[in-house]
Structure 1
Amino acid sequence: MIRYGFLFPLRVAILAVGWIVFFAAFLPVRYFWTENKKWKRKIERTLVEMMCGVFVASWTGVVKYHGPRPSMRPQQVFVANHTSMIDFIILEQMTAFAVIMQKHPGWVGFIQKTILESVGCIWFNRTEAKDREVVTRKLREHTQGADNNPLLIFPEGTCVNNQYTVMFKKGAFELGCAVCPVAIKYNKIFVDAFWNSKIQSFTMHLVRLMTSWAVVCDVWYLEPQYLRPGETPIEFAERVRDMIATRAGLKKVPWDGYLKYFRPSPKLTERKYAYSLFAFSLTICLLMLICVF
């Protein structure tokens, strides 16, 4: 009764008031401010951080940040494990990151086009092969700008249940710049923050968070890492994944996150089945030999 009858309406009201105040300030700055672009970008960043703070308040977010707050510098990229789209909101309320994000339909897509482009976010469609080349070029250009917002990438490429980390894509690790790991760990004491986009819309995911008692999590900003001599981008990615998994208490698994969206080819499945059958037969033979001798 308290969560659904009192807290949820109160949080909806907080979110509605936040949106009204935000748009009243953001739209004139975004579309009518023509002087001093530096101040324009600064105000837009501050308003986006404020709105993300309103979102976190609407869940009664209890977030502890550990480590130095990210700063605006060229030649750096931040990478984090990924549990939900709220990862971005929790990080964004502290620092206006420019994030690499999948294009979304509906109201999320509207926010992407009208608001988040102001902080330099880059969109892609994972079903479009040509988008990869465009995104790679934009990443390199963004990391070169001294006045650009810090770049944030979720190299897993999909939301994971905050118990595991799946394989990191190597794109963020071959830009030739500092990689700053960010570890995010949610406490499931009140609600599971994992967003399974295959069975639940983001709107219903937010409703679930807003009808819980609180969203509790820790965020660690770890030491910047650099590509070592003789180290490949894939090895670099695995080393950073080790750091994030250790700090957040997550288990590393050798899975590709894109398997959530694309099935492996039948040839690969048949080959794996054949190898498994061969290994099973070999094991049985060895056991029989051991029993005989």
Structure 2
Amino acid sequence: MDLDRPNIEEYLPSEAIQESNEKLHLRDLLDISPTLTEAAGAIVDDSFTRCFKSNPSEPWNWNVYLFPLWCFGVVVRYGILFPVRVLVLTIGWIIFLSSFIPAHFLLRSHDKWRKKIERYLVELICSFFVASWTGVVKYHGPRPSMRPKQVFVANHTSMIDFIVLEQMTAFAVIMQKHPGWVGLLQSTILESVGCIWFNRAEAKDREIVARKLRDHIQGVDNNPLLIFPEGTCVNNHYTVMFKKGAFELGCTVCPIAIKYNKIFVDAFWNSKKQSFTMHLLHLMTSWAVVCDVWYLEPQNIRPGETPIEFAERVRDIISVRAGLKKVPWDGYLKYSRPSPKHRERKQQRFVESVLQRLEKKGK
């Protein structure tokens, strides 16, 4: 007897066990259409998983005529463009650090001038980053200005969203705290423009961030505040639910729509599969990063409108402008696994469906 094999009789009612074995057929145990339908639907139409999948480009070097062209392109991208881009980025860092460090430490008594210079230098280094990808960015609409009681919100595809927007305007961004060299830049250089960091796993950080947000938007001289309300990177085909935090501050919300053209490279950053360093290398070895940025009409909460409804209305505006599909998912589910209780409920429903079927056959 196989001890590891489940005993189906433990799940059968006593009346069914007493019945003749001829009345118990395999099809009775497998007739679980609702469960199978649910499982098939989850496999075929998992709109949540699709939000965070990279879409690999279709191979085109499939014959003897195109393969040499593909090889030539690889040589150009890795042998010529990549070294030039590394050189451009290196020159950018030399210029930036040789200017930022003296300004940061020598102009502490001249706070206004120091902030102005640091703001310009952050925009400059972001421009060098965009140049290192041969970035072709087209901006639509009026450039953001420094005003109190306003916040900018944008859809989120990669951390380079911040760089693309920052090269035009020195935003103070709300961002997850990262490890490594990115975290070092966050805690040193980017804090100079008023950026706010949080740890997604720390519940107490939410209260601290909420307080900092309210304080920041009141300042006349503070840099414009930028928030990615999805809370995670989405693959630029969809938008997930916007967190309501940016929409309950009682200020004007300025939507920004970002759409990447994937003709040369997919700019989506899957942080679970790829470090940001490798993501940058991927961009720097591509032909170009092409995208459009739309600064859309500012929005205010309407009378009787809740922050959640306000967030959905702004998400509609961004999704329509960027041609993105809305899905009713919370992006934070990307970082969590189904709870044991959820799995147990599913298992219990499955057992109950089998038992109900057997009881009907036993009558």
TM-score bracket for this pair, using the shorter chain length: over 0.9
Residue of structure 2 in register with 1:66 after alignment? 140
> 1:209 pairs with 266, 276, 283, which one?
283
Alignment of 1:147 with 2:221, yes or no, is yes
Q: In the alignment, is residue 175 of structure 1 matched against residue 252 of structure 2?
A: no
Whether 1:161 aligns to 2:231 is no
2:324 to 238, 250, 254: 250
Q: How big is the shift at 1:32?
A: 2.1
Using the TM superposition, give the Cα deviation of residue 35 of structure 1 relative to its aligned residue in structure 2, in angstroms. 3.0
RMSD, matched Cα = 1.7
Q: Distance in 2 between matches of 1:251 and 1:277?
A: 37
For 2:282, give the aligned amino acid: R
Shift of 1:33: 1.3
Cα deviation, residue 268, structure 1: 3.9
> Quick check: which has more Rg, 1 or 2?
2
Q: Residue 74 of structure 1: SS of its match in structure 2?
A: coil
The correspondence for 1:184, drawn from 258, 270, 290, is 258
- What is the SS of the residue equivalent to 2:274? coil
SS in 2 for 1:109: helix
Residue in structure 1 matched with residue 178 of structure 2 by the alignment: 104
Q: Distance in 2 between matches of 1:135 and 1:275?
A: 41
**Is the aligned partner of 1:198 residue 2:272?**
yes
Distance in 1, matches of 2:131 and 2:273, equals 26
Q: State the match for 2:312 in structure 1.
A: 238
Aligned to 2:105: 31
Deviation string 1:250-292 (CA, Å, 9 cap, x unpaired) is 000011111111123233455578889999xxxxxxxxxxxxx
1:16 matched to 2:90: yes
What's the CA shift string for 1:120-166, capped at 9, x where partnerless?
Answer: 00000000010000000000000000000000000000000000000
1:41 corresponds to: 115
1:44 is paired with a residue whose SS is: helix
Q: Look up the match of 1:228.
A: 302
Q: Which residue does 1:50 correspond to in 2?
A: 124
Aligned to 1:130: 204
Matched, 1:119 2:193: yes
CA gap 1:255/1:21 in 2 versus in 1, 3 angstroms = same
CA contact (8 A) 2:230 2:331 kept: yes
Paired residues of 2:82 and 2:284 also in contact (CA < 8 A): yes
Aligned match of 2:54:
none
Give CA deviations for 1:98-120 in whole Å, capped at 9, x if unaligned: 00011111110111111000000
* 1:159-192 deviation digits (Å, cap 9, x = unpaired): 0000000011000000000000000000000000
Q: How many residues align?
A: 279
| Partner of residue 259, structure 1 | 333
What letter is aligned with 1:191?
A: V
Find the aligned partners of 2:305 and 2:351 in 1 and give their Cα distance: 36
Q: Give the gaps of 5 or more residues in structure 2.
A: 1-74, 354-363
Q: Distance in 1 between matches of 2:189 and 2:352?
A: 55
Cα distance in 2 for residues equivalent to 1:243 and 1:196: 25
**Whole-Å Cα distance in 2 between the matches of residues 272 and 247 of structure 1?**
39
Distance 1:278 1:186, change over 3 A: farther
Partner of 1:286: none
Matched residue type, 2:183: G
Give CA-to-partner distance per residue, 1:23-60, whole Å, 9 cap, x none: 00000111221332111100000000000000000000
Residues 273/238 of structure 1: CA separation in 2 closer, same or farther (3 Å cut): farther
Return closer, same or farther for 1:185/1:277 CA change in 2, 3 Å cut-off: farther
Q: Is contact 2:132–2:284 with CA below 8 Å preserved after alignment?
A: yes
Within 1, Cα distance between the matches of 2:112 and 2:349? 60
